[in-house]
Amino acid sequence: MKLTTKGRYAVTAMLDLALHNSENPVSLAEISERQDISLSYLEQLFSKLRRSGLVISMRGPGGGYQLNGSPADIAIADIITAVDESVDATRCGGMGDCQNNKRCLTHDLWTELSDQIRVFLSGITLADMTERADVQETAARQQQRIEFLTSAAS
């Protein structure tokens, strides 16, 4: 089972957005800087997230993105699904044609694991993540780094 960069970055970016979600939209440039994710890659991800209804975009000066709803209503599984990512531990993509177009010995085991992962990720929301002390500490460190770099450049 492999969660690709696309899914990982989408969850990271959405968590950053949830942490900085206020009355003002958050620009992708800010997320890019804090999370060290390419701006062009974020643009691709947020296009999918917007189409899935997880975020809304604001154009113009001071524009950016906001969550479309409460962080408590957005599950990690929703984010992964929105960027066309699947969490599948089978070799066959769940089709059951793993070995010479037939089920392999362990097909059901990997299917059940995939189901458990989906249930696990469906049970965790952005709000759950923002409340974690380790997430808050990391976000504070990232923000301090950005503030230091901004003041040093001035």
The arithmetic mean of pLDDT across residues 83-104, rounded, is: 86
How many Cβ atoms sit within 10 Å of the Cβ of residue 15?
23
Given a cut of 70, whether residue 2 has pLDDT beyond it is: no
Residue 87 and residue 59: Cα distance in Å, rounded? 33
Fold of the 5-85+126-153 domain: Arc Repressor Mutant, subunit A (1.10.10)
* Per-domain residue ranges of the chain: 5-85+126-153, 87-123
Residue reference for tokens 């974690």: 132
Half-sphere exposure of 99 (CA within 13 A, CB side): 5
Give residue-wise pLDDT tens across range 60-83. 888 899 999 999 999 999 999 999
How many Cβ atoms sit within 10 Å of the Cβ of residue 86?
14
Residue 63 and residue 60: Cα distance in Å, rounded? 5
Given a cut of 90, whether residue 57 has pLDDT beyond it is: yes
Element spanning 74, H or E: none
